[in-house]
Amino acid sequence: MKTGFVDFHSHGCWGIDDGVQTKDEAVLFLQTAQSTGIKTIFCTPHMIPQGKYDASIETIRRAVDELRELALSLGLDVEIRGGSELYLNEFAVDRISNQRFVLLEGVDGLLVEFSRSGADWREINERLYEISLVVDTIVIAHPERYFRDPNEMFRVVDEWLGNGYLLQLNSTSLLGAHGENNFRNAWNLLESGKVHLVASDAHAGEGRRTCRLDDVYAVVLKRLGKNRTHQLFFTNPQEVLARRKPDPVIAKRSLTKHIKRWISRI
């Protein structure tokens, strides 16, 4: 089994958002992570300005400390780092200007997300620019979720890449757990050389949205081969941890026609 995975996007802090809800569930979350080869977990609770889940910086830091202490008490060899997932809605401007968010710990990076029901990309890009003035690295979470039109997706994504932002796919999208559109977009982005990272976006202690990357690693390995898969799951995460910006992974052969066949075998 491969070990040493880094998960840059997860919701394992219990009772803080729509992720893990109890301490007992957090135990399962952590045990699954270690048993499937994850070494480092960034816990990134939602920060939705004026939304349902809008924990304060202090609350998030306290919750991350509690999860870290839980991992230590269980004797697990899993490093817990803090962070947040900032939702760039119309109320985010003040949050950005006052830097009221939690950076990915030790990385000086910020994980961001947008609306899945349509977005004004001009406004979004202005907010991303404002963040880029104060944060070294912007990581755009699950870009596969935001688009129905592939032409629009590639136009917007190419602008993000040109600005130096990193793109993070969800493992469950690549595995087909979130519908055909997300599945197709995720593989098209990966095939086209637009992706830097894959993360779990785990929300539960067990089931399809738990904290693991070994399953998607196995699928990508069969399609991209050893070198590109290693770059995606190991080289690029280490570059980010070292505060360097990695290159996107480029796949040179067609993927989308046979993905479902490979997934059905795991």
pTM comes to 0.93
List, in sequence order, every residue forming a beta bridge with 198; answer none if it has no partner: 169
Domain membership of residue 146 as a residue range: 5-263
Where are any strands of DSSP class E within the chain?
5-7, 38-43, 46-47, 79-82, 85-87, 109-113, 137-141, 166-170, 197-199
Query: What is residue 263's predicted lDDT score, i.e. its pLDDT?
Result: 45
Domain CATH number, residue 124: 3.20.20.140
DSSP reduced 3-state for 199:
strand
The per-residue pLDDT for 148 is 94
Question: Which of the 8 DSSP states describes residue 22?
Answer: S
User: For 136-181, what is each residue's pLDDT tens digit?
Assistant: 999 999 999 999 999 999 999 999 999 999 999 999 999 999 999 9
Q: What is the pLDDT of residue 252?
A: 63
C-beta separation of 77 from 34 below 8 A: yes
Element of type H or E holding 93: helix 92-97
∠ CA 34-35-39, rounded to 5°: 30
Q: How many CB atoms lie within 10 A of CB 214?
A: 17
Can you give the pLDDT at residue 190?
A: 97
**pLDDT for the residue 260:** 47
Ranges under pLDDT 50 in the chain: 255-266
**What CA–CA distance (Å, rounded) separates 184 from 154?**
13
Domain count, the chain: 1
